[in-house]
Amino acid sequence: MQTLTRKAQKTQTRNSLIQQAEALFSKNGISNTTTAHVAKANKVSHGALFVHFPTREDLILSVVASFGDRLAAQMGKRFEDDMALKDLLKAHIQVLSEFEDFYMRLISESQSLPPNIRSIVYAMNASLSYRFYRAAQTQMKDGKVKKMTQPEFFNTWMALINYYVMNRDLFSDKTPILTEIGEDVLRHFLSLIKTF
């Protein structure tokens, strides 16, 4: 086996810490997980973790950035130009269901996270909002979808999705909840916005 260079080893440890932190955040919650927990799970000293992430905030930020990149990549794979609204929303549900454990923690703990992390989450949502609303506007012009503002449209969709994800333990024993009820939520949303 080829010996890893010092730089490659450092990158590997860093990536492993990010993965381990995401798993612990997903399982136990972001606020309940300390840097000591992450170091222990990764079998490195607490001090070694701080070489890669000088503060706890840096670690959370790296996990959220990694999550955001993978989420965006998956969305990018599924979203196509001029995709119909229904298909876009369906793809959104599918992608979120793949990342649901961490997404649930992120939205549940949003207000107690460092402010720049909350900003990143809302920036990711902003991109989705523009994409979904562009597709909705086509149908608004055709008279098939009720006319409403971009925030009204996007926030109604997110309110439904986030409510079921945040309270998923109340609705099913199985996870991801979006795999269980995603189709029903989509059908209900489309019936709310249609004109006839």
Partner 1 sequence: MNQRCESCFSCGMPLTQASDFALGDETATFCTYCVDKEGKLLPFDSILKSNAGYYQESQGLSEQAAMKMAKDLLVSMPAWKNAGV
Binding stretches for partner 1 (CB under 8 A): 61, 68-69, 72, 76, 115-116, 118-120, 122-123, 125-126, 129-130, 133, 149-152, 154-155
Closer residue to partner 1, CB minimum distance, 89 or 120: 120
Closer residue to partner 1, CB minimum distance, 130 or 171: 130
Whose structure tokens read 């919650």?
29
Helix, strand, coil percent content, the chain, rounded in steps of 5: 75, 0, 20
DSSP letter at 2 equals: P
Closer residue to partner 1, CB minimum distance, 64 or 104: 64
Q: Determine the length of the chain.
A: 196
Cβ 74 to partner 1 shortest distance, Å: 13
Cβ 136 to partner 1 shortest distance, Å: 13
Cβ 127 to partner 1 shortest distance, Å: 8
Report how far apart, in Å, the C-alpha atoms of 174 and of each of 24, 33, 45, 90, 106 are: 20, 24, 36, 20, 20
Residues linked to residue 157 through DSSP beta bridges, in sequence order: none
Closer residue to partner 1, CB minimum distance, 119 or 195: 119
Euclidean distance between CA atoms 49 and 53, whole angstroms: 6
Closer residue to partner 1, CB minimum distance, 76 or 143: 76
Q: Are 115 and 166 in contact (CB under 8 A)?
A: no
Cβ 76 to partner 1 shortest distance, Å: 7
Euclidean distance between CA atoms 54 and 57, whole angstroms: 8
Closer residue to partner 1, CB minimum distance, 29 or 68: 68
Cβ 19 to partner 1 shortest distance, Å: 18
Euclidean distance between CA atoms 178 and 85, whole angstroms: 18
Cβ 63 to partner 1 shortest distance, Å: 15
